[in-house]
Amino acid sequence: MNTEHNQLLSFIAKDLAAGKNLGPLRWSVLALVFFIPLIFNLTFGFNPDLNWRDSWMPWAMLALFFGLAFVFSRTLERATNIFVFSLISIAVLFATFAFPQFGSGFSMMSGYVGYWADTLKCFIFGMMVGGLTALTLAFFVFRWGSVPSAGSRLAMSQIAGLAGAFGLFFKCPNSDFIHLLTGHGSQMAAVFFGTYLLSKMLFIRIVRKQLGKAAAQFEHIEKFDKS
């Protein structure tokens, strides 16, 4: 078998290998998205007043975000129903703002000395959680999966942004809406747009690279078919 045949078969085998890695990739993405925020909470501390024993809120938040992570992992390598995924994302987003209003470990804290310093700390914490989630997802998806569609990239941006809010839900005891909007919501927006821009840059880079490979191989296809 000549060099041209080897090059073409190697090119095809790479795509087949990506398909074989789909199962492990899905489970890896699910675990990473769900546990990265919780590991940050274990490192920097949970809200000590959060009522785990008698309140349904922390368990509902865990279930909502785990469901979002699971749906995201299942969208890899297939057409993404971004409308349905966005509805689940909106439900998680709503919960991060609404659940603290019910109390059970959250209280209205506004106007005190250090209010904006605490808001900034929450913003930084959320950016660290969301940023690490975004970078990890980008590495795993682009490294071991097929080139993600526009819907998958948008879903990746949504879940990276929400990862920071999910972590902050278990860390921050403040239910003040201005604090939630500026400290928790602004980091979500920043991570969302940052992740989308990063994924688009990676997408363009990989597509250009693949197109270059395909162009190089195209001239060999006719010879391969005639052999």
In a domain, residue 8? The reply is no
Closest to 160 in 3D by CA, of 200, 123, 192, 208: 192
Cβ neighbours, 10 Å, residue 226: 6
Domain with 29, as residue range(s), is 23-220
In a domain, residue 86? The reply is yes
Q: How many residues does the chain have?
A: 227
In a domain, residue 13? The reply is no
Cα dist from 88 to 155, 158, 170, 225, whole Å: 11, 10, 19, 48
Judge residue 19's burial from the number of C-beta atoms within 10 Å of its C-beta, 0-12 exposed, 13-18 middle, 19 or more buried: exposed
Cα dist from 213 to 12, 149, 155, 186, whole Å: 11, 20, 28, 41
Instruction: Please check whether residue 88 is in contact with residue 130, taking contact to mean a CB–CB distance below 8 angstroms.
Output: no
In a domain, residue 127? The reply is yes
Instruction: Please check whether residue 196 is in contact with residue 154, taking contact to mean a CB–CB distance below 8 angstroms.
Output: yes
In a domain, residue 167? The reply is yes
In a domain, residue 124? The reply is yes
3-state secondary structure of 80: coil
How high is the pLDDT of residue 47? 92
How high is the pLDDT of residue 175? 93
DSSP state of 53: T
What is the residue-level pLDDT of the chain in tens, covering all 227 positions?
A: 455 555 544 555 555 455 556 777 888 888 999 999 999 999 999 999 888 988 899 999 999 999 999 988 887 766 567 888 899 999 999 999 999 999 888 998 887 888 999 999 999 999 999 999 999 988 888 777 766 777 888 889 999 999 999 999 999 999 999 999 999 999 999 999 999 999 888 878 776 766 666 556 655 555 555 55
Closest to 175 in 3D by CA, of 81, 114, 120, 99: 99
Specify the number of domains making up the chain. 1
In a domain, residue 68? The reply is yes
DSSP state of 167: H
How high is the pLDDT of residue 110? 84
Predicted TM-score of the model (pTM): 0.81
In a domain, residue 226? The reply is no
CA 213 from chain center: how many Å? Answer: 29
How high is the pLDDT of residue 104? 83
Instruction: Please check whether residue 84 is in contact with residue 165, taking contact to mean a CB–CB distance below 8 angstroms.
Output: no
Instruction: Please check whether residue 173 is in contact with residue 106, taking contact to mean a CB–CB distance below 8 angstroms.
Output: yes
How high is the pLDDT of residue 227? 53
Give the integer Cα–Cα distance in Å for 142 and 202.
8
